[in-house]
Amino acid sequence: MIEISHVNKWYSPTFQVLTDCTTNVTKGEVVVVCGPSGSGKSTLIKCVNALEPFQSGDILVDGTKVNDPKTDLPKLRSRVGMVFQHFELFPHLKIIDNLCLAQEKVLGRGHDKAQTKGMQLLERVGLKEQAQKFPAQLSGGQQQRVAIARALAMDPIVMLFDEPTSALDPEMVSEVLDVMVDLAREGMTMMVVTHEMGFARKVANRVIFMDRGEIVEDAAKDDFFGKPRSDRAQKFLSKILSH
């Protein structure tokens, strides 16, 4: 579903942020990406839907090359859901309109159909009653669930998450993770940057560990948690699990 091969990216001639990153995410797979701050996790995941350009290598999403200038990027992105660390709901639109905007303007769905779909998804994330409110009136956890619903409204073939719970107060983390776990169990293809190892243990198929722009470890979940091969991953794991 996502094929990343030999991706290199520089932010400036002297600063290489991604070095020869290669990995695959197959259909229905849940891949967790972790690693220390500044290791390039966000950058890598943003390359997948071409929010960030990269200088060499290839990324294919469902067979479409994202770094091909001829690719219709808006169309491709409309099929790839993305959830951000800081939610990024549109503050000037009501919750329901946040869910309908792209359905109507990108997919060309009629207003009624988009509303129906939006309400279904709000119900699914447990926020049907909030439909007429504005984002600022919701808690962080609620906003992030709306953001997930907004992405799902586009019927994505794959979902990308960039630290979806790290901006949340601790007591709101689980309500968001629950939604993500359900999604994973329903067979959604997911690439998730997170430090929530509980989530990884529960639903991940594979774990990728990044450090200084490189994919240091790319292993099946049990292998990763059982005994990471690299020193750096071991150190990282022991640090994060001791919390």
Ligand X SMILES: Nc1ncnc2c1ncn2[C@@H]1O[C@H](COP(=O)(O)OP(=O)(O)OP(=O)(O)O)[C@@H](O)[C@H]1O
Residue 40 binds: one of ligand X, Mg ion, other proteins, none (C-beta under 5 to 8 A by kind): ligand X
Q: Are 105 and 145 spatial neighbours (Cβ–Cβ below 8 Å)?
A: no
Question: How far is CA 158 from each of CA 58, 77, 169, rounded to the nearest angstrom?
Answer: 18, 10, 27
Per CB under 8 A, which of residues 148..177 are in contact with other proteins?
A: 150-151, 154
Find the angle CA(124)-CA(126)-CA(127) to the nearest 5 degrees.
Answer: 110
With tokens 């009624």, the residue in question is 112
Considering the rule CB under 5 A, would residue 98 count as an interface residue with Mg ion? no
Per CB under 5 A, which of residues 21..50 are in contact with Mg ion?
A: 42
- Distance, in Å, from the CA atom of 162 to the CA atom of 45, rounded to the nearest integer, reads 7
Q: Which is nearer to Mg ion, 42 or 115 (CB)?
A: 42
The residues binding ligand X (CB under 6 A) are 11, 17, 35, 37-43
Residue 37 binds: one of other proteins, Mg ion, ligand X, none (C-beta under 5 to 8 A by kind): ligand X
From edge to edge, which strands make up the β-sheet containing 190-193?
Answer: 80-83, 158-162, 190-193, 30-34, 206-211, 214-220
Residue 51 binds: one of Mg ion, ligand X, other proteins, none (C-beta under 5 to 8 A by kind): other proteins
Beta-bridged to residue 207, according to DSSP, are 32, 219
Per CB under 8 A, which of residues 169..228 are in contact with other proteins?
A: none
Query: CB 217 → other proteins: shortest distance, Å?
Result: 27
Q: Which is nearer to other proteins, 193 or 237 (CB)?
A: 193
Residue 141 binds: one of ligand X, other proteins, Mg ion, none (C-beta under 5 to 8 A by kind): none
* Type and span of the H or E element at 174: helix 170-185
With a CB cutoff of 8 Å and minimum separation 6, the contacts of 228 are 209, 217, 219, 234, 237
Q: Is the dihedral of CA 101, 102, 108, 112 positive or negative?
A: negative
Instruction: Identify which of 33, 42, 46, 11 has the alpha carbon closest to the alpha carbon of residue 205.
Output: 33
Query: CB 33 → Mg ion: shortest distance, Å?
Result: 10
Q: Which is nearer to other proteins, 106 or 220 (CB)?
A: 106
Residue 43 binds: one of ligand X, other proteins, Mg ion, none (C-beta under 5 to 8 A by kind): ligand X
Residues at the interface with Mg ion (CB under 5 A)? 42
- Which residues sit at the interface with other proteins, rule CB under 8 A? 49, 51, 74-82, 84, 86, 88-92, 101-102, 105-107, 134, 136, 150-151, 154
